């Protein structure tokens, strides 16, 4: 059986799920397995830059709850940092963290496939390096009808798979009630 290592660009994926009016309180491990198909998922990685606590404290707490939830599902979680430049929020370090881990997995593990759930064109060199190491690289992300998804990353990979709302709705929600992560944010919950 082939093995796959999964790398999820968590912040952008979180925003893409929200933009489609879906809950982010999902079983990300089940989603990764669904996208990987019959391949055994042997490594799970999730990257997110938390929002600045002094600006959006409730969203910061929500991001932490999501990170905790994803870690409990067997993901290695890594965070970068968020900077404010001229009133614009800029996430720092995610591309570097993801690229280093993708290349490390390509050269230091026996996985057959690298699955990148992102649309960041900055990851193209890491994808190319993984392919040069003899790994199959697949990219999966939502296709945007009104703002076309950049194709540089998917063009650099061996295959692209569109993630759909159906994919998100097909995996289990995590927790005993609706809005599981949100419930964890309420005092006394």
Domain ranges of the chain: 3-185
Structure tokens, 108:
């230091």
Provide the pLDDT for residue 18: 87
Kindly indicate the confidence band of residue 151, based on its pLDDT and cuts at 50, 70 and 90. Answer: confident
Distance (Å, rounded) from C-alpha 143 to C-alpha 43? 25
pLDDT tens, position by position, 3-52: 999 999 998 899 899 889 998 889 999 999 999 999 999 999 999 988 77
Q: Which fold has domain 3-185?
A: Rossmann fold (3.40.50)
pLDDT at 150 over 70: no
Instruction: Assign residue 66 a region (left: φ > 0; alpha: ψ between -120 and 50; beta: otherwise).
Output: alpha
pLDDT classification of 61: cutoffs 50, 70, 90: confident
Flag whether pLDDT at 181 surpasses 50.
Answer: no
- pLDDT, one tens digit per residue, over 124-145 is 999 999 999 999 999 999 987 6
- In this predicted model, which residue has the larger pLDDT, 1 or 182? 1
- pLDDT given for residue 56 in this prediction: 74
CB-count exposure of residue 22 (10 Å: 0-12, 13-18, 19+): middle
Higher pLDDT pick, 58 / 2: 2
Q: 108-122: per-residue pLDDT in tens? A: 989 999 999 999 999
Average pLDDT over residues 81-100: 87
Residue 7: strand pairing partners: 45, 116
Query: 47: which residues sit within 8 A by CB, 6+ positions away?
Result: 7, 8, 9, 10, 11, 77, 78, 79, 80, 94, 97, 98
Q: Output the pLDDT for position 54.
A: 77
pLDDT on residue 149: 57
Distance (Å, whole) CA 180 – CA 75: 19
Pick from 12, 33, 26, 32: which is nearest to 150 by CA?
A: 12
């Amino acid at each position: 059986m082939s093995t796959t290592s999964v790398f999820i660009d968590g912040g952008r994926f979180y925003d893409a799920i929200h933009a489609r009016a879906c809950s982010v309180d999902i079983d990300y491990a089940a989603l990764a397995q669904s996208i990987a198909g019959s391949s055994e998922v042997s490594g799970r990685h999730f990257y997110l830059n938390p929002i600045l606590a002094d600006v959006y404290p409730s969203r910061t707490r929500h991001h932490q709850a999501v990170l905790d939830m994803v870690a409990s599902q067997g993901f290695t979680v890594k965070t970068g940092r968020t900077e404010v430049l001229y009133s614009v929020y800029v996430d720092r370090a995610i591309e570097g963290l993801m690229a280093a881990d993708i290349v490390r997995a390509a050269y230091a593990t026996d996985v057959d496939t690298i699955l990148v759930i992102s649309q960041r064109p900055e990851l193209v060199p890491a994808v190319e390096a993984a392919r040069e190491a003899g790994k199959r690289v697949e990219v999966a992300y939502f296709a945007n009808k009104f703002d076309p998804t950049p194709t540089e990353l998917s063009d650099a990979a061996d295959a692209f798979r569109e993630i759909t709302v159906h994919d998100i709705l097909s995996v289990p929600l995590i927790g005993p009630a609706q809005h599981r992560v949100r419930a964890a944010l309420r005092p006394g919950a």
